Structure 1
Amino acid sequence: MSDQVPAGHVPGHVPVVVFACRANGGRSVASRLLAEHYAGGRVVALSAGTTPGDRVHPEVARVLEDLGLDTSRESPRLLTAEMIAASDLAVTQGCGETCPYVPGARYRDWPLDDPKGQDEATVRRIVADIDTRVRDLLVELVPDIDLPPSLLGRA
């Protein structure tokens, strides 16, 4: 990891990241909750979906709750161009061509499996992948962040 501050980093600025997937019931919710947990207020994490469902996928909620993350206040919401425009980074996770394109916005795509309807071991594997990606992203966005230990037992 470089000691240089990433391009666009402004000391004191709290980056806003939008995690976007299709239903806003699995990948993006896990990403938001993990980012919020690890960032400790140093990053604002939002989540949304291109075709939001009516609730967080129960198999994802169980895994996140087992990690100590509260999903009870999570409610899927629609991803909008305005949300992306107001963010520092939009992380797409399987919404493909349906994600709104905003000229000048920063995007990053995380190719993640969809946890909806999967068995617990598969959901845990997907959440572990998201955990690693979120932790790496936070270090990139806030170079001086002191991350707490991973909820998954990996440092």
Structure 2
Amino acid sequence: MTDTKPSVLFVCVHNAGRSQMAAGYLRHLAGDRVEVRSAGSMPADQINPAAVAAMLEEGIDIAAEQPKVLTDEAVEASDVVITMGCGDTCRFYPGKRYEDWVLEDPAGQGVDAVRPIRDEIKARIEALLTDLLGQ
């Protein structure tokens, strides 16, 4: 048994919606048991306000987060890389565990449209947590 905690990187194009919601859930549910990062291949200027509102309904505040650019260092420092709608804009790094979560893009949508995306992300995060920590 090793003392290092698993690390997860969530990547989407703008790092403003899906990846930020996923990171928020994982931080909230895992506490300090998992290292969490998020980034985008073409980061937006700010977090999607509908994603912030949808997460606040769950008691998770992601308003202070800032979209970040995807770097080689972030990928290399992560055990699991989860992409969301990147297509070919996110590079592949050998030796990493990859998952591609097909989720609707919340960009430009209201909070009513973002809720089902948020709920699907939550279910996937719960399954990921069980996989990472439940052994």
Q: Which residue of 1 aligns with 2:68?
A: 77
Q: Which residue of 1 aligns with 2:31?
A: 40
Checking the alignment, whether the CA contact within 8 Å between 2:15 and 2:47 is kept in structure 1 is: yes
Taking only aligned residues, the RMSD between alpha carbons, in angstroms, comes to 1.2
1:124 to 2:115 alignment: yes
4+ runs of 1 displaced by more than 3 Å?
none
Q: Which residue of 2 aligns with 1:138?
A: 129
What SS does the corresponding residue of 2:10 show, helix, strand or coil?
strand
Report the AA paired with residue 79 of structure 1: L
Checking the alignment, whether the CA contact within 8 Å between 1:15 and 1:141 is kept in structure 2 is: yes
Checking the alignment, whether the CA contact within 8 Å between 1:92 and 1:108 is kept in structure 2 is: yes
Q: Which residue of 2 aligns with 1:49?
A: 40
What SS does the corresponding residue of 1:40 show, helix, strand or coil?
helix
What SS does the corresponding residue of 2:32 show, helix, strand or coil?
coil
The C-alpha deviation readout for 1:59-97, integer Å capped at 9, x for no partner, is 111111222111232000001122111100000001111
Gapped regions of structure 2 (runs ≥ 5): none
2:18 to 19, 27, 31: 27
CA distance in 2: counterparts of 1:96 and 1:85, whole angstroms: 20
CA distance in 2: counterparts of 1:120 and 1:59, whole angstroms: 5
1:104 to 2:95 alignment: yes
CA distance in 2: counterparts of 1:40 and 1:134, whole angstroms: 13
Query: How many equivalent residue pairs?
Result: 135
Higher helix proportion (structure 1 or 2) = 2
1:16 to 4, 7, 11: 7
Checking the alignment, whether the CA contact within 8 Å between 1:31 and 1:130 is kept in structure 2 is: yes
1:58 to 2:49 alignment: yes
TM-fit CA distance, 1:119: 2.7
Checking the alignment, whether the CA contact within 8 Å between 1:80 and 1:100 is kept in structure 2 is: no
CA distance in 1: counterparts of 2:34 and 2:60, whole angstroms: 17
